[in-house]
Amino acid sequence: MEISSNKAEDSIVFSSLYTNYESYLKNDNPKNRHGIWKIEKQRLDQLKYAYVYLTDSGGMIVRKYKIDHFEPDKKVTSKHHFYFEKGEDFFIQYPFGIVRKHHYVFSSKLENIPRLKTSEIQNRLNNSMKTKMNKDRKEKINRISAREELSLSYQANNLPKKQYVRIADIAMLEKLVNEGQEPDAVLTNYFNNLETKKNLLNKDSKKD
C-alpha cells in the first residue's frame, strides 16, 4: 500500500507477529538492525522512520524507529535491512488498514494520532499473544492427529517389520493426511513407491 501524494512518504510500516515483537522488537537488538524488504532504490534515502504493526492486535502500532540508513542483505542483495539510531514504544491505532506487505506513509499522519491508553494497550497485547498461541496449538494438534492416524493405520494393516517410514518423509505424509487423504491410502502409495524405486535400483545394478 502507498498513500498517494506529490511528496514521497518518509516512513515504512511493517507487520510483526507477537513472538517476534516480544523476542526482537520490544527490546532493541544489539545490532540496531531490523527487517529485510525489497524497497525501490529511490526510496532508500527518503525513508526516515519505521513503525511496527502488531498482528492480531486490532490494528495497533507498537514501536517506532528513527532510521539511520539501509544496507543490502549479504545473501539477497535486492533486499535491504535498516539500521536505526533509536527505538521507542509507540502505541496508536493504525488508520490505513491491515498491514501484510509493508506500507509507506507520512510520519506526520501517524504522529498526530492520539496515543492509546495503558489498559487498551495491555488488552491488545494480550489478544495478540493469545491468538498466536491458539494458532500454534491448533497446528500442533493437527500434526499430532495426522501422526496418530498414520500410526494406527500402520498397526492395523500389520505391515512387515522391514517396511517402515523414513524419518525424513514423516512430515510429507502428515501433510497429505491433513489435506484430507486417507491414512491407509497414503501409506499404501508410499510403500508402493518405495518398492518401485527399489526394483528399479535392483535392475540397474544387475545391468552393471
Residue 126 is assigned to a structural domain of this protein: no
Residue 3 is assigned to a structural domain of this protein: no
Mind listing the pLDDT tens digit of every residue in the chain (208 residues)? 444 344 789 999 999 988 889 888 888 777 788 888 889 989 999 999 999 999 999 999 999 999 999 999 888 888 999 999 889 999 999 999 989 889 999 999 999 999 999 999 999 999 998 887 767 666 655 555 665 666 655 555 555 545 667 777 778 877 777 776 766 677 777 777 777 666 555 555 555 5
Q: What share of residues in the chain are helix, strand, coil (percent, to 5)?
A: 45, 25, 35
Residue 37 is assigned to a structural domain of this protein: yes
On whether the pTM is more than 0.95, the answer is no
Q: How far is CA 127 from CA 10, 17, 57, 194, in A?
A: 30, 12, 6, 47
Domain boundary among 81, 116, 151: 116
Q: Which domain holds residue 84?
A: 11-116
